[in-house]
Amino acid sequence: MNKNLDRLQPYPFEKLADLLANSRPDETKRPIKWSIGEPAHPAPEFVKRVLIENLDGLSKYPVTIGSIELREAISTWLTTRFALPAGAIDPDKNVLPVSGTREALFSFAQSVVNGADEAVVVMPNPFYQIYEGAAYMADCDPYFVNLNADNQFQPDFKSIPPSVWMRCQLVYVCSPSNPTGACLSMEKWHELLTIAGKNDFVIASDECYSEIYFNEGEPPIGLLEAANEFGLSDFKNCVVFHSLSKRSNLPGLRSGFVAGDARILDKYRLYRTYHGCALPPPTQKASAAAWQDEEHVRENRAIYRRKFDAVLEILQPCMDIYRPQAGFYLWPSVPIDDASFTRRLYEEENLLVLPGSYISRTVDGVNPGVKRLRMALVAPYEECVEGAERLAAFVKRLAV
Ligand SMILES: Cc1ncc(COP(=O)(O)O)c(C=O)c1O
- Ligand 1 pocket test, pick from 178, 254, 291, 377 with the greatest ligand atom count within 8 Å of Cβ, gives 178
300 and 288 inside one domain = no
The predicted structure's pLDDT at residue 79: 98
Q: How many domains does the chain have?
A: 2
Whole-number Å distance, alpha carbon 259 to ligand 1 midpoint, is 16
Closest ligand 1 atom, residue 102 Cα: 9
Whether the ω angle into residue 25 lies within 30 degrees of 0, i.e. cis, is no
Helix (H) or strand (E) holding 71: helix 68-81
**Residues 225, 329: one domain?**
no
CB contact set of 180 (below 8 Å; sequence gap of 6+): 126, 147, 153, 324, 329, 331
Residue 35: its pLDDT value, please?
96
In this structure, are 282 and 323 located in the same domain?
no
pLDDT at position 351 is 97
Domain check: are 347 and 280 in the same one?
no
Which protein residue has the closest C-alpha to ligand 1 atom 14? 37
Ligand 1 atom closest to the Cα of residue 206 is: 3
Q: What is the DSSP letter of 67?
A: -
Pocket test for ligand 1, best of 209, 210, 245 (most atoms within 8 A of CB): 245
Please give the backbone phi and psi of residue 178, each rounded to the nearest 5 degrees, phi first.
-95, 110
pLDDT of residue 104: 97
Both 83 and 214 in one domain: the answer is yes
Distance 366 CA to ligand 1 centre (A): 26
Residue 21: which domain range?
3-42+296-399
Regarding pTM above 0.95, the answer is yes
- Mean pLDDT over 145-161 rounds to 95
Q: Report the CATH number at residue 331.
A: 3.90.1150.10
CA distances from 59 to 62, 71, 217 (A): 9, 21, 44
The reply to whether 103 and 171 lie within a common domain is yes
The string of DSSP codes covering 218-276 is -PPPPHHHHHHHHT-TT-TTEEEEEEHHHHTT-TTT--EEEEE-HHHHHHHHHHHHHH-
Which residue's C-alpha comes closest to atom 12 of ligand 1? 102
d(CA 45, CA 391): 34
pLDDT in tens, 84-133: 999 999 999 999 999 999 999 999 999 999 877 789 999 999 999 999 99
Instruction: Compute CA 171 distance to the chain's CA centroid, rounded to the nearest angstrom.
Output: 14
Question: What pLDDT is stored for residue 276 in this prediction?
Answer: 86
Which numbered atom of ligand 1 lies nearest the CA of 251?
Answer: 10
How many whole angstroms from 255 Cα to the centroid of ligand 1?
A: 11
Residue 387: what pLDDT?
98
Q: Which H or E element spans position 97?
A: strand 95-98
**Cα–Cα distance measured from residue 322 to residue 329, given in angstroms and rounded to the nearest whole number:** 11
Model confidence at 364, in pLDDT bands (50, 70, 90)? confident
What strand order describes the sheet that includes 256-260? 95-98, 256-260, 238-243, 202-206, 168-174, 120-125, 141-146
Please give the single-letter amino acid code of residue 58: L
Q: What is the DSSP string of 149-213?
A: GGGTT---GGGS-HHHHHHEEEEEEESS-TTT-----HHHHHHHHHHHHHHT-EEEEE-TTTT-B
**Domain match, 234 and 301 both:** no
Could you give the CA distance from residue 347 to residue 156 in angstroms, rounded to a whole number? Answer: 38
**Of 293, 311, 333, which closes a domain?**
293
Residues with CB under 6 A from ligand 1: 37, 100-102, 105, 128, 174, 178, 206, 208, 243, 245, 251, 256
Average pLDDT over every residue of 156-178 = 96
CA 396 – ligand 1 centroid, Å: 34
pLDDT on residue 298? 97
CA of 126 to the centre of ligand 1 (A): 14
Query: Are 126 and 22 within one domain?
Result: no
| Closest ligand 1 atom to 256 CA | 11
Mean pLDDT, rounded, for 299-319: 97
CA 385-388-393 angle, to 5 degrees, is: 130
Banded pLDDT at 399 (limits 50, 70, 90): confident
CATH at residue 234: 3.40.640.10
pLDDT tops 80 at residue 388:
yes
The residues, ordered by sequence, that sit 6+ positions from 273 with a Cβ below 8 Å of its Cβ are 64
Gap between the Cα atoms of 79 and 240, Å rounded: 13
What H or E segment, with its residue span, contains residue 46?
helix 45-53
Return the bridge partners of 95, or none: 259
Percent above pLDDT 90 for the chain: 96
Order of strands across the sheet that contains 373-376: 329-330, 373-376, 354-355
What is the chain's mean pLDDT, rounded? 96
* Boundary (domain end) residue, out of 250, 272, 293: 293
Distance from the alpha carbon of residue 146 to the mean position of ligand 1, in angstroms? 20
Any idea how long the chain is?
400
Q: Do 141 and 165 share a domain, yes or no?
A: yes
Q: Compute the average pLDDT of residues 136-154.
A: 95
For residues 141-167, give the mean pLDDT.
95
| Mean pLDDT of the 278-303 span | 97
pLDDT for the residue numbered 115: 76
pLDDT tens-digit map of 15-58: 999 999 999 999 899 999 999 999 989 999 999 999 999 999 99
Are 104 and 247 found together in one domain? Answer: yes
* Residues 187-215, mean pLDDT to the nearest whole number: 97
Same domain, 23 and 34: yes
C-alpha of residue 173 to centroid of ligand 1, in Å: 13
* Most ligand 1 atoms within 8 A of CB, residue of 36, 98, 101 to mutate: 101
Q: Based on the domain organization, do 345 and 332 belong to the same domain? A: yes
Q: Which of 172, 246, 360 to mutate to test the pocket of ligand 1 (most atoms within 8 A of CB)?
A: 246
Query: Atom of ligand 1 at shortest distance to CA of 178?
Result: 1
Distance 101 CA to ligand 1 centre (A): 6
Q: Which of 278, 293, 308 is the last residue of a domain?
A: 293
Render pLDDT for 55-69 as a digit per residue (tens, 0 to 9). 999 999 999 999 999
For ligand 1, atom 15, which residue shows the shortest CA distance?
Answer: 128
CA of 241 from ligand 1 middle (Å) equals 9
